[in-house]
Amino acid sequence: MTELPKISVFTLGCKVNQYDSDAMLAVFKSAGFEIAEGLEFADVYVINSCAVTAEAEKKSRQAVTRIKKVNKDATIYVCGCASQNNFLQFAKDNVKYIAGTDNKLGLARRIVEEYTGDAEVFDKIFNPADFTIGSKFEDNDGVVNLLTRHFIKIQDGCNNFCSYCLIPYVRGRGRSRSQESIIREMDSVEGVVKEVVVTGINLSAYGRDSGTNLTELLKVFKKYKKFGIRLGSLEVGVIDREFLEATTKIKLFCPHFHLSLQSGDDSVLKAMNRRYTTAEYYRAVRLIREYYPNAAITTDIIVGYPAESEEEFKNSMKFARKVGFSDVHVFPYSSRKGTVAGRMKPLAPEILEDRAKRMGEVKQELIGNYLNKQIGLPVRVLFETQEDGIWVGHTQTYVKVYSKHGARNKVFTVAPTGRYKDGLCDASVSEQI
């Protein structure tokens, strides 16, 4: 077989996209391709695109230009939500092949067959019972570079049809991975990684199409003792006592709950078709803190939804402070053609900018409040990288910690002594704030 090219998968968007990219990379690695990272020089690039906002879609298009600046002769393939939404936006950029969201591994098959000349290579690598190549994980220079944490996708698609969201149209209806397939992949990384992140487009809907649910899956996860288990974004309706009891049985469960909000005003929530009230949301928050008093509760908030009044926006700021989030992802409303809200007149750009700025100030206030409460509390830190000789890692509540004492993919107990940069540090780092 001739020498295979160097290939990179450039990923935009969510953790599910990252998981899909990891699956493609694992296939390419197993087939014998040399792997590059991101925008490193490569012969072949796969852009795994995003369309959650207009800005994300723009960045997906711009990725083609950025790649051409790195290697003007590169061969480029595109897949993902942006190409599913509008494949023509990539057709003029000398892209060789454009796929959508459901055919990412089909694209990997096409690339493997094209460059190896062997139609059977892909089938020898990929287990069709899995979303990805579950049994092929190794450490260090093995099949895929796992670094310190592994993302596992258990669900795809969404049936919610929130009025502002394009995802159900480009990802399709909700569908769940089999429990057997999930367990095979979880078993394959035990003893290799220190943390597994469980992800899905609508994680809370896991099992609704197959007669089970996320809580039942968590009950199975209690068998894992060697790595932490962190959950991706959750909907408020999944939080109840049975769910939280199941998390307490997991030895190294990470009490970081990303609980999607979008607005702290009931009228706006109704207009968004979010199907819960702020009172229901707050009850879920209080229940989480009953089980995990120091839990990190993070969220997403859209500011400037069409027709959002100043009073409704202020209600969102007030509610964010009431909850006491540890972090808030602030998104100025982005109109998406094809959605219900996409037919509505958007607010003026200066209003969006002003509200994003003001909610951003609330975000920084809340981050500071949470970080200050962590000072002096002994925490488990999974160290991942180094910056200027200082080790950087994250706690189980996903607070960034800096220390001169650490090691990659190792867990240390650290007692933070102060604030530092965007997180906390111990006494070994002197420049505290």
Question: What number of other Cβ atoms are within 10 A of residue 308's Cβ?
Answer: 24
Cβ(356)–Cβ(330) below 8 Å: yes
Q: What is the pLDDT of residue 136?
A: 35
- CATH dotted code for 6-125: 3.40.50.12160
Q: What is the pLDDT of residues 234-290, one digit of tens each?
A: 999 999 999 999 999 999 999 999 999 999 999 999 999 999 999 999 999 999 999
Local structure of 287: helix, strand or coil: helix
Q: What is the pLDDT of residue 101?
A: 80
Number of residues that make up the chain: 433
Q: What is the pLDDT of residue 125?
A: 58
User: Which residue in 407, 404, 402 sits closest to 424, CA to CA?
Assistant: 402
Cα 2 from Cα 81, distance rounded (Å)? 33
Q: State which residues of the chain have pLDDT below 70.
A: 1-2, 92-93, 119-147, 430-433
Cα 308 from Cα 332, distance rounded (Å)? 12
The domain segmentation of the chain, as residue ranges, is 6-125, 149-373, 379-425
Q: What is the pLDDT of residue 131?
A: 44
Tokens of 380: 């488990």
Q: What angle do CA 412, 417, 421 make, to 5 degrees?
A: 90
Q: What is the pLDDT of residue 15?
A: 83
Helices (H) and strands (E) in the chain, counts: 14, 18
Cα 46 from Cα 36, distance rounded (Å)? 11
CATH class of the 149-373 domain in this structure: alpha beta
Local structure of 395: helix, strand or coil: strand
Q: What is the pLDDT of residue 93?
A: 66
User: Which residue in 80, 73, 3 sits closest to 47, CA to CA?
Assistant: 80
User: Which residue in 17, 64, 67 sits closest to 42, CA to CA?
Assistant: 67
Q: What angle do CA 288, 289, 293 make, to 5 degrees?
A: 135
Q: In whole angstroms, how large is the CA radius of gyration of the chain?
A: 22
Q: What is the pLDDT of residue 245?
A: 98
Which H/E stretch holds residue 394?
A: strand 390-395
Cα 367 from Cα 259, distance rounded (Å)? 16
Q: What is the pLDDT of residue 126?
A: 56
